């Protein structure tokens, strides 16, 4: 199966620029998350195999990560005037529309990466976020990295439940 995603590679091991390293790890994790959903059918991508978590689906994880990026990177970090994707309650960002497919949620997630990059372009790690919240650009990046990494772990299991595919 050929991928529509860029090639995924580990960040440099001899890193001397903290901010660049953070962006490289985030890109690695983003691509890992998208790869876990790529190639799934709509029914497998929308399957919720955990009875206690009916909104936790592979596609739902990417929708949630899209909302995470929008809020923390663009809105809080960069002060961009965009609508939040959280919705009325905590689960809203996980809920799938009937028209959504693995391809559409991956495309929306990738589009959000561009918005996030533009929102923080040229900002240093010690700079405060655009919305006053006593946070720095460094804090925002580390927060989004840990959030993405945690959900990549969920995607490992969701993909294996869906079709047995394992791996990084």
Q: Is the pLDDT of residue 2 over 70?
A: no
Residue 99 has pLDDT above 60, yes or no: yes
Cβ atoms of residues 161 and 47 within 8 Å: yes
3-state secondary structure 60-80: HHHHHHHHHHHHHHHHHHCCC
Please give the Cα distance from 85 to 68 (Å, whole number): 8
DSSP-assigned beta bridge partners for residue 128: 136
**136 by DSSP, 3-state: which?**
strand
- Provide the CATH number for the domain formed by 23-163 in this structure: 1.20.120.450
Joined together, the tokens standing for residue 138 give 């460094």
pLDDT in tens, 11-46: 777 778 888 899 999 999 999 999 999 999 999 999
Check: pTM over 0.85? Answer yes or no.
Answer: yes
| Residue 48 pLDDT class (50, 70, 90 cuts) | very high
């Amino acid at each position: 199966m050929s991928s529509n995603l860029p090639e995924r590679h580990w960040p440099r091991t001899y890193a001397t620029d903290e901010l660049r390293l953070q962006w490289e790890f985030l890109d690695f994790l983003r691509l890992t998350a998208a790869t876990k959903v790529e190639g799934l059918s709509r029914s497998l991508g929308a399957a919720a195999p955990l009875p206690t978590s009916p909104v936790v689906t592979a596609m739902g994880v990417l929708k949630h990560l899209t909302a995470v990026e929008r809020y923390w990177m663009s809105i809080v970090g960069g002060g961009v005037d965009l609508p939040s994707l959280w919705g009325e309650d905590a689960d809203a960002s996980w809920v799938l529309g009937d028209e959504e497919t693995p391809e559409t949620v991956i495309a929306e997630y990738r589009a959000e990466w561009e918005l996030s990059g533009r929102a923080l372009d040229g900002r240093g790690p010690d700079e405060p976020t655009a919305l006053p919240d006593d946070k720095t650009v460094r804090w925002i990046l580390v927060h989004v990295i840990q959030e993405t990494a945690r959900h990549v772990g969920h995607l490992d299991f969701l993909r294996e439940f869906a079709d047995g595919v394992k791996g990084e």
